Amino acid sequence: MKKTILFLVIGVLLFVLGVLSRPFAEKTYDYVYHFFYLDTVDFPIHDVISPARQHDLDNAIKVSFTGDLLLLRDMIERAYIEGTDSVGFDEMFEHVSEYWRDDDLSIAVFEGPVASADSGYTASCFRDNIPLHLNFPSSFATSVKRAGIDFVTTATNHLLDQGVDGYLHTLDVLDSIHLDHSGSYRTPSEHDQPKILQVKGLKIGVLAFTYGCNNYDDGFFFEKGNEHITCCMMGRASSYYKACQNHVREDFRRLKALHPDIIIALPHIGEQFCHEPDKDQLAWCDLLVEEGADIIFSDHPHTVQPIEWRKNTKGRNVLVVHCPGNFVNSYIEYDGDASMIVEAYLTPGTGEPFAASCIPLYSYCKQKRGRYQALPLYKAIKTDSLYAQLSVADYKRLGAIHKLVTKTALGVELGIDQLQPRYITFADGGYARHPAPPLAWKEEYEGNPLVGMMKAASRICFVGDGITEGARNGGYGWYEPLVAMLGKKDVTRWTKDGGKSSFFAEKRSEIAQTEADLYVIAIGYNDICDSTFTSCEASAQNLATHIDQLASTLSASKPGTRIVILSPWLSYDPDPHCQLPRAVKKQLYAMCDTALEKYCKQKGHLFINPNGYIRQAVIDDHHDRGKYFYDYAYPNADKGIELFSRACVEGF
């Protein structure tokens, strides 16, 4: 409370000072921002996927799940092929089919009937006061199959939008194109025959359910002659809730009699436009886990919901995906333009899920007669031809979707600089990131002294402050692209965010226990920017003394140990962490560089000053510091660490 009052008082003072002296007010604001925000924010450091775990992922059986495949009126209108009466939907799947084809089994939700064209296709765009009765052209189902979907559930609330004849015709269409399905049935015997899929030696049992169907009372599905149409999973408020529970348990009993290796449940339930599962969802999940489901792929809320790990009574992992969101939808309110493909990684032989990934998607449509497409965020930003099509509003929305999907699905909010092809969460450890991509190799690197030393080293240790630690970008150290370029290397790091050279000198014996034969030391930023300035020369010599204490201990720790020392990383103004006048700060940097370079020549260590190269790159990019930096000094996890790595090779 006291801090809040103090902040308000300072805010009023800043307003007054802003009128009198805007530059002074801005500098003061930076200090206040640092004190109240940067010093109190928790910046997580994420684990990196280990080579052993990556091996498990590469050799796993992958089952993917995609949300609601549906068509609103404007989506159908935009899909007409010019000059014909044909409607084509291949373009909708253009950028995602590679994911489905790469999976061993791809499952999606076919949310609506394919009735005859005479019935009229979907007439509503939702929330336009026109009743929403879905009906898709048969070419939509063909495009779904052609894109790589292997299996669909038809158990949805729109199953009977075109009546009994409509759902029966849908089953005929799906069968005619050999798109496997479950969730609605022609006869009682078909209903009672559990679905078993054979995937790479695994027997995968599948059960599909829906909370009900639009415009049909719950009792309809319990009337004689209707019980076989679909499998219902009604809410606790329904008078048929207990009957549904009994039916679900009976479905499991029939399926387990066939001895599947794993069971996938596909419930179509939940409150629409809500990012958290409701009480009915959770209650049904409890029952599904109790009955033996190994994977629960749920949908219907039309928004992204969490990925959750549970354990069953046998101690096996159970993967629960509460909702992947819409696949593609022209109705983008309530985050309807944000969705994901979820992939489950199964252990060969047992089928037990041990990891899951999510691939965030954006519902994209060009302004001029564009067709709606599911656009993976990674491809949208990393593919030049796609990136060039994005508007400023699109890019801003991509960043918001990235944060939304990662925070909601994984419980970890990631900035767009931490963009990855897919995001992995492990049953026994949660989210872990992929290593940074490698620096592009250039012929000129062949004779580079740093590259040569790193190639020759059997074990490399990077010593440094928060920039080496990746303290503001999720743990991406500045050196990662450089190391990745060289292939498999045994790398460790010894870091302390905010650490001064005196701290590292103090810990030199502990650092030496890493037993590396190459140490790359990048410290000194905090000496300068957190300086209680007396004289530049004295401060520079103080830094050199601490560096010598550290380097001498490391050199003596193991025969043949090599040392590389980097100039203190540069910070950009305004730097709220540094209270030195700009001219003094500049002079201190220059003297530290001179002292360290002189020391390295005397001791035979390699000295690198990458700062000029980094500064010039920012200038060449029209002073676009945000392209490379998280803030005033810390590189972001994308272009930032790439630039810092490149600067250490090319910048001296």
Q: What pLDDT does 117 receive?
A: 82
Q: What pLDDT does 377 receive?
A: 98
> Mean of the pLDDT values across residues 515-524?
96
38-71: pLDDT as tens digits: 444 578 999 999 999 999 999 999 999 999 999 9
Q: What is the DSSP letter of 530?
A: T
Res 31 pLDDT > 50? no
> Mean of the pLDDT values across residues 375-403?
95
Q: What pLDDT does 35 receive?
A: 40
Residue 547: band (very low, low, confident or very high) from pLDDT cuts 50, 70, 90: very high
Residue 33: band (very low, low, confident or very high) from pLDDT cuts 50, 70, 90: very low
CA distance to 279, 320, 475, 523, per residue, from 266 (Å): 17, 10, 36, 53
Neighbours of 573 (CB within 10 A): 12
> Mean of the pLDDT values across residues 540-560?
95
Please state the φ and ψ torsions of residue 39, each to the nearest 5 degrees: -80, -10
The residue among 239 and 16 whose pLDDT is bigger is 239
Mean model confidence pLDDT for the chain: 92
> Mean of the pLDDT values across residues 398-409?
98
Q: What pLDDT does 34 receive?
A: 42
C-alpha closest to that of 328 among 93, 23, 41, 582: 93
Q: What pLDDT does 26 receive?
A: 39
SS3 state of residue 303? coil
Residue 390: band (very low, low, confident or very high) from pLDDT cuts 50, 70, 90: very high
CB 80 within 8 A of CB 86: yes
63-77: pLDDT as tens digits: 999 999 999 999 999
Q: What pLDDT does 28 receive?
A: 42
Block residue for tokens 């380097």: 551
Between CA 36 and CA 29 the distance in angstroms is 10
**How far, rounded to the nearest angstrom, does the alpha carbon of residue 301 sit from its chain's CA centroid?**
20
Res 116 pLDDT > 80? yes
Q: Which two tokens stand for residue 257?
A: 């009699």
Please state the φ and ψ torsions of residue 260, each to the nearest 5 degrees: -70, 155
> Mean of the pLDDT values across residues 154-161?
97
Neighbours of 15 (CB within 10 A): 10
C-alpha closest to that of 186 among 206, 159, 152: 159
